[in-house]
Amino acid sequence: MAQAMERGGGSDAIDLILEDHRRVDELFDRFEALTDTVDSAEKRELATQMLRELSVHASIEEQIFYPAVRERLPQGDEIVGESLDEHRAVKELLAAIEDTDPADPKFDERVTMLIREVRHHVEEEERDVLPALRAQLDDDAVREMGAAMLRAKESVG
């Protein structure tokens, strides 16, 4: 949020998305650092945190961010379509993880697949979408979108 505040007050939508990405990646790093001796409860807790963060993030992107991408970027419809497909795949993995016992080897496999899918999505978004959208919107528009995202996050999260 420090970067967002440096841009002149208010919350910057793109910086908020980047912060969410970093927060989720920290959870992924923690999961990847777990050893085989970790109990199932710890794995389940990390997976629950991932589910919460990713669900809120996806909801806010779909409600507020993607409409701006669709409207402002030349290939916005294509970008949003691909992103929504990726979100759908992640939601299916999250549901499968939720329904899997952490002691089951499939649990780790599914979480590993989730991590790979989300990191791929984040890489594309940070490389292509976020810079392109920042170039299309003025600072006020990015801050207004950020404020809307924060309000949505508070109501969802």
For the entire predicted model, the pTM comes to 0.87
pLDDT of residue 8: 41
pLDDT of residue 154: 87
pLDDT of residue 16: 95
Max CA separation in the chain (angstroms): 50
Residue 77 pLDDT level (bands cut at 50, 70, 90): very high
For residues 34, 36, 39, 45, the Cα torsion angle rounded to the nearest 10 degrees is 30
- The domains found in the chain, sorted by start residue, are 2-156 (1.20.120)
CA dihedral sign of residues 3, 57, 94, 52? positive
* Percent with pLDDT over 70 in the chain: 93
- For residue 130, pLDDT beyond 90: yes
Residue 1 pLDDT level (bands cut at 50, 70, 90): very low
